[in-house]
A and B are shown apart, each in its own frame.
Chain A
Amino acid sequence: MRVAREWLHRLAGTLLRRRCDTDLEEELRLHLEMATEDARSRGREPADAVRAAQVKAGAASQAMDALRDQRGLPWLDDLARDVSHGLRSLWRTPVFTTVALLTLALGIGANTAIFSIVNGVILRPLDYPKPAQLMLVTTEFPELGLTRNPLSVQEYLEFRQINQSFAAVGAYRTTGGAYTTGEVNLTAGGGPLRVRSISVDAGLLSTLGVQPALGRLFTAEETSRVGGLAPPLAIISYELWRAVFGGQPLVGQTVDVDGRLHEILGIMPSGVDVMDNHTAIWLPLGLPAAIRQNRSFHILHVVGRLKDGVTPQAAQTELNALVENWGERTVSSGHVPTNRPTRAADHTLRIEPVQDAVVGDARRSIWMLQVAVGFVLLIACANLANLLMARAESRRREFAVRAALGASRSRLLRQTMTEGVMLCVAGGMLGLWLARVAVHALIRAYPTSVPRMSEIGIDLSVLLFALGVSIATGVLFGLAPLAQGRMNDLVTAFKEGGDRGASGAGRHYVRRTLVVVEVALAVMLVIGAGLLIRTVYNLTSVDAGFDRSRLVTFSMTLPEPYEPDTRAPAYQRLLDKLRAAPGVLGAAAMSGLPPNRSPEAIPTRIENYTASDGSAVEIVDYYQFVMGDYFETMGVPIVAGRSFEPADAASPGRGVVVNETLAKRVWKGRDPIGQRVRPNLSAAIGFGDDSWHTVIGVAKDVKQGGVGKQTGTELYVSLDQLAMAAPAMNVVLRTSLPPAALSRTLERLVREVDPAVPIVRLRDMESVFAESIRRPRLLAQLLGAFAGLALLLAAVGTYGVLSSMAAERQREIGIRIALGADRSSVLALVVKQGLQLTIIGVVVGLAGALGLNRLIASVLFGVQPTDPTTLAAVVMTITLVAAGACWLPAWRASRLDPNVALKAD
């Protein structure tokens, strides 16, 4: 601190009060004059006096030199000299410079790219005022293993009332069974569009602290109507306003949303969103009376803003205390939160920072990538250190000469460091450019793989990071040659005729260590990549329960003024038309599209049944409402009983199909066929009476909530029997044609049914699956790329070190050959030397990988971090690559002509 202030002072004093040469010379001249006069006044002869004064005061020229040194910042001059010297010497060795620059640009570029993701997704606070105060309030069902679940309306209202920790609380809703889908049809200009929607109450907007860019937000009255539909009002996102409405004045006008004219109240500022929902349109929250009163409908996502000074821990403590006697506090009973969950429906309340909830599971993967690219950079550093050391070897004479001419050791050290930092800054700039390109490409290729994708970019902190990494890299590999400690070893350098002498083994110690480190880091990366690749392979080969080949799906919504009973014939007409279309073998519709659904957890009455909690209600994870010959079209095998048949619609009794897991859980080995259940239709889909249904069949388990997750319990209900349909359905076609070839026909057929309805997400089921595992796939691809890079760099490094080690043993090898050693034993000698290093590296790397187990375990599926097959494959790959890298220098050494080798000096 003091040193820094001293420097600032000196810098300011130097720059502000800089005196010119003539000024200084004048002062010295006057000093001499006075000294001469003084001497004369003491009785000296004039000529003698001048000499005496000069002897006493010293030479003006020397004083001037000292003054100039003091005046300038000597290190600045030295730096300028170092830089120009460095530039010249780098220019003279273009191959070295190019290789070093490329290595650096790749290493720094990859690091900067990943850091820009770390920064944009994890580090940068959310774009709300005081974002650290925002907490997501969720319910947790420990018995069902559900986390981050929404609250019931009553819970939300009670929580808002009784808590003391939060300054404001609000709620929103995006999905809730098939009743709302988080999307609406928007008719504007060109035709029907389907856009992401969110239903919010006024409390949410004030909790978040958002202000509209234009117009106004909802009032509390507009978002708290009980019963009926929400008022036809809407706020649209800035992005939608620009893209669809061209930024034209819109506030106060009406727009067709789901068949109703909505008044546009306002436009949100650019980038405003909730929980990474990609919201395009904001609607007022409307809650039908049935949903509002029923405590078992968990449909509201709740966000609270902590009061100033209240910590999340304190708020959670308060919440726990509230949950302790929630029933008494709120005069409510039944499905209330509890701290001691014993039954399936028992749940507790939890808060977590909104930012953590947004980033969620992605955090670990992103940090993992950062560690991986960090390794790549370390390998790059090791390689460059190697290169620099080889270069230092060849420059020992130059340094020795300069040292002999008076350059101090620290001066020479600074010279190599300057070159290192220069390389790094240039490499860093190249890397920054690479990172920009890579991040753009990544965002374009995987727009939804990472939360907060739109916030990823190169900002000041990323720039600082890149600069910091560049300089640290430069210092790191610039220092390495010094570890050899030979720089000022003048005598040795002059005496040793060249670099072909029998050099001491000690000098190679550093370079050998670098090879070991490179190999070890590469081993860890390749193991990580191998495990991830296995994971992706396992995920793609999971039996999802249906035949997903030649299956095409799309989604559509028939909004108001359709009623459930007018929708059914419309969907029916469409399915009939589709079945008649060329190339279509079968057509059906379903409410939820596997394998990406979130569990609905609907309490369902089951006849003659006592659940683990003593009630006659089983929480069913998924309801699937289906139309047409669903099981045949999807290729879901019926393992017992039968599937739905057209004749069912006419018969008075209603049937349901259950999946194997539900059958096992409820009837435990007894025959489920003929048992009765009472599907909670109003909770699941918002219409229909809750009458008794008979189980007519058991379907094979279908992965609804993710291929890597456990299969939940599932109930199939036939909409054909109910003669009603949900607003949004997923149509599925068994067809030999690809989606692109079908799109024209599909659009025409849908238009024939309703011209205002858009087709969305038309794709084949394979892509739906690929999409569902996009994150592990992306992780595997990136990690694979980094591992490949690491492998390449490590191979180059091993090759480089081994070549120069072999070159330095040239004389020895020459003698061996001259004395009759055969070529293959020379080959073996050098290869052995390299493989020894590799094996040490592999062992160290395996140990390191074991240490990093915990980091990777949670992103793996169906493979252990210590999977012996993967480890063996990795060890083999590395050894093969290393053998390749060793073989070339060894082969060259074995081809040595002893005559040439021995005469070289």
Chain B
Amino acid sequence: MSNRTTAKADVLQGTLDLMVLQTLNSLGPLHGYAIAARLEQVSRGALQLNMGTLYPALMRLEQRGLLRGNWGTTETNRKARFYAATSAGRRQLAREKDAWDRMAGIIHTVLHGEV
């Protein structure tokens, strides 16, 4: 597979996909900029996605059939490509969320629990 992604992106990749899916799932169809803005807002500015990270991720999700993108217009009558989670995407999100929760729980126990 592609060997161009840097090590940093590799770490991010799974979680970025998860965050994008979650955002679309809770807010409905959004365009790319809105997704980035939302993630920045939710993370209180900690997560700043540049286009080179965001759009390949969107394309990847779309290629996997987890997202579907279509051109449309914003409320301000601007042309934009809107992304919506597909049912496969929602299923994937549920699965990944569970896995993430479990993992986070395990890590938390290991780091803070009485071993």
Contact = CB atoms under 8 A, between A and B. Distances in A.
Interface of A: 6, 9-10, 12-14, 17, 19, 24, 26-28, 30-35, 38, 56-60, 62-63, 65-67, 69-71, 74-75, 408, 410-411
22 contacts: A9-B63, A9-B64, A13-B62, A24-B55, A27-B32, A28-B51, A30-B31, A30-B33, A30-B81, A31-B36, A34-B31, A34-B78, A34-B80, A63-B50, A66-B4, A66-B56, A67-B55, A67-B59, A70-B2, A70-B63, A74-B4, A75-B2
A34 B52 CA distance: 16
Nearest to A32: B51
A10 B51 contact: no
A499 B48 CA distance: 53
Contacts of B80: 27, 30, 34
Contact of A38 (B37, B50, B55, B81): B37
Interface string B58-101: 01101111000000000000111100000000000000000000
A10 B78 contact: no
Contacts of B32: 27, 31
B3 interface: yes
A9 B56 CA distance: 16
Please report whether the interface of chain A is mostly helix, strand, loop or mixed according to DSSP: helix
Contact of A71 (B53, B59, B79): B59
B1 interface: yes
B3 A30 contact: no
A62 B3 contact: no
A6 to B, nearest CB: 7
Q: Which of B1, B51, B52, B64 has the most CB of A within 10 A?
A: B51
Interface string B30-60: 0111001100000000001011110110011
Contacts of B52: 58-59, 62-63, 65-66
B56 A58 contact: no
Given A35-B33, A58-B50, A70-B2, A17 B62 contact: yes
A56 B50 contact: yes
A250 B19 CA distance: 80
B110 to A, nearest CB: 27
Closest 9 CB pairs of A and B: A58-B50, A13-B63, A63-B51, A63-B52, A34-B33, A70-B56, A66-B56, A66-B52, A74-B2
Contacts of B33: 30-31, 34-35, 38
Contacts of A57: 36, 50-51
Interface of B: 1-4, 31-33, 36-37, 48, 50-53, 55-56, 59-60, 62-65, 78-81
B56 A69 contact: yes
A27 B54 CA distance: 12
A557 B1 CA distance: 74
A35 B63 CA distance: 26
Contacts of A56: 48, 50
A584 B55 CA distance: 98
A59 B36 CA distance: 15
A6 B2 contact: no
Most chain A CB inside 10 Å of its own CB: which residue of B3, B33, B56, B79: B33
Nearest to A18: B63
B48 to A, nearest CB: 6
Contacts of B79: 26, 30
A57 B79 CA distance: 19
Given A30-B80, A31-B36, A66-B55, 4 more contacts: A26-B79, A38-B33, A63-B56, A75-B2
A14 B51 contact: no
A13 B48 contact: no
A9 B37 contact: no
B3 A63 contact: no
A710 B33 CA distance: 92
Given A10-B63, A17-B63, A69 B48 contact: no
A789 B81 CA distance: 66
Contact of A410 (B2, B3, B50, B65): B3
B63 A14 contact: yes
Nearest to B79: A30
A67 B62 contact: no
Nearest to A6: B64
A60 B56 contact: no
A19 B65 CA distance: 15
B32 to A, nearest CB: 5
